[in-house]
Amino acid sequence: MNGIMLQTFEWDMPSDGMLWKTVRKKARLWSLLGITAAWLPPACKGSAGGLDVGYGVYDLYDLGEFDQKGSVRTKYGTKDEYLAAISALRRAGIQALGDVVLNHRMGADEMEHVPVTPVNPDNRLEMLGGSEDGAVYTRFTFPGRKNRYSDFVWNASCFTGVDWNGNDPDHHLFLIGGKTWAPDVDNEKGNYDYLMGADVDVRAPHVHDELIRWGLWYLKTTGLDGFRLDAVKHISASFYRDFLEQVRNATGREIYTVGEYWSNDLGKLLYYLDEVHYSMDLFDTPLHYHFCAASRSGGTYDLRSLFVDTLVSQRPSQAVTFVDNHDTQPGQSLESWVDGWFKASAYAMILLRSAGYPCVFWGDLYGIPERGIGAVSELPRLMQIRLFQAYGEETDYFDDPNLVGFTRKGDPRLPGSGLACLITDEKGGEKRMDVGVRYAGKTFVCAIGGQSDVKIGQDGTGVFRVDGGGCSVYVPKPTLFAVCCRAVRQVLRFFHLA
């Protein structure tokens, strides 16, 4: 079955505490759309309390249960609402994936006085002077939680670095005395262990053990099926290799995991996958950047190179493909938004092909009203085509820099499956493509793109068209039998039987 992951949030959605309730209500609908996994935003209390998107983690054990940082609930709701959302997803046959942010902490409860060394933020291997007295925010006691679930107190011994020292306003990055940056992290800026806040020293044995204890508590408490791991390029690769092995062994469950290694360099992604012994999938960031470039090149992008040097072309079974996310949306830190005119084409390229596990972004499915961005209107239809038609042998026609396409020949066991897809970043055109002799003499109708029907010749080929800057998707003209088979599959999905 063709899976679809849904990222169930965007950055600017209102901080009204309603998301967990919304997820609970939409789970069945999402299942019918073809969604098989839901990536939920970070559920732990952040330093900005009820306003925190979730990446400024304060307390891993507060899932919206304790009055901390000015709020019991998180941006998305209370712990009970979170648990209800996860249950609803699982009842609908959708895997619930939790966003895990272990790289850093923010909003410490107390200051500590420890030796620190100023570091060059642009080259973290360069010390800017010797050891000095530090006044740093590194002590986390969680007074609002009162040791519930864990009495672990975080202090300077748990962190490698901080970006603020009350005694030294002239510098902006400090290594904590006795610590070193983890060596097995991304090598940008010399060493990219430090990202923000108080950087967690995952190699310290007491921290390592506490994080694994937390991981097991989190899975047991929530019933999550897996994880989306935040900022893995800033975390010692050996840590997550061990973390995943331990939680999988202890629970006996698959614990599907996808990591965010944000880099346009395929070599780094392949190296990291090897370092973590292929224990997780990775988001295909290079492919996202290709989509972004194609959408912004005014027709000069060579569409034949769309998949060149992408993770999905090199490690199709470990690539989670996506078009945009909460970090690439307008106004965010990694802004690289794929222009609206190209969105349907990009989604066709991740949803209708055989390679990769596609992830649909909330901001594309529902729009980002806070920024005046509308939904990608073709997206629900593309998801349905993935569910019902995107099967069988794939034939590529990446032979023209401005006009590329592919076909799927369908699976005889799935009546009405098979498709033809064409995209262009220039003027419109046509291409003769092979959909298989099984469809000789039959008709393909245009599901997306507004083109006329295409009669398939005796050799199994047809001439398919696309308008300028557009995307066309053709599917076999539905027979009554195929429609009935689809209806049966939807009923089975609704009752979580298939």
- Contact residues toward Ca ion (CB under 5 A) are 103, 193, 199, 234
Q: Which two tokens stand for residue 164?
A: 């603020």
In the complex, what is the shortest distance from the CB of residue 293 to Ca ion, in angstroms, rounded to a whole number? 30
Q: How far is the CB of 104 from Ca ion (least distance, A)?
A: 7
Determine which one of 260, 275, 400, 430 is catalytic: 260
Q: Is the CA virtual torsion 25, 31, 33, 37 positive or negative?
A: positive
Question: Measured between alpha carbons, how far is residue 367 from residues 41, 364, 471 in Å?
Answer: 17, 5, 20
Q: Which is nearer to Ca ion, 120 or 221 (CB)?
A: 120
The question of whether 230 is a catalytic residue gets the answer yes
Residue closer to Ca ion (CB basis): 37 or 207: 207
When the beta carbons of 55 and 76 are compared against Ca ion, the nearer one is 55
Shortest separation between residue 40's beta carbon and Ca ion, angstroms: 23
- Contacts of residue 466, defined as CB under 8 A and 6 or more positions apart, other chains included, come to 403, 405, 422, 423, 424, 428, 429, 430, 449, 451, 472
Q: Looking at beta carbons only, is 69 or 179 nearer to Ca ion? A: 179
Shorter beta-carbon distance to Ca ion: residue 175 or 368: 175
The CA distance from 5 to 188, in Å, is 30
User: Which residue, 361, 377, 383, 378, is CA-closest to 12?
Assistant: 361
Comparison of 101 and 454: residue with beta carbon closer to Ca ion: 101
What is the total residue count of the chain? 498
- Please identify which of the residues 230, 284, 378, 425 carries the catalytic annotation: 230
Are the beta carbons of 136 and 199 closer than 8 angstroms?
no
Active site includes 242? no
Report in angstroms how near the CB of residue 188 gets to Ca ion at its nearest. 13
Position 146, amino acid: K
Minimum CB separation from Ca ion for residue 132, in Å? 22
Q: Choose between 65 and 193: whose C-beta lies nearer to Ca ion.
A: 193
Q: How far is the CB of 22 from Ca ion (least distance, A)?
A: 32
Our CB check for Ca ion shows the closer of 215 and 436 to be 215
- In whole angstroms, the minimum distance from the beta carbon of 108 to Ca ion comes to 16
Report, in Å, the least distance between residue 443 CB and Ca ion. 57
220 class by beta-carbon count within 10 Å (0-12 exposed, 13-18 middle, 19+ buried): exposed
The pair phi, psi for residue 490, each rounded to 5°, is -65, -40
Catalytic residues: 230, 260
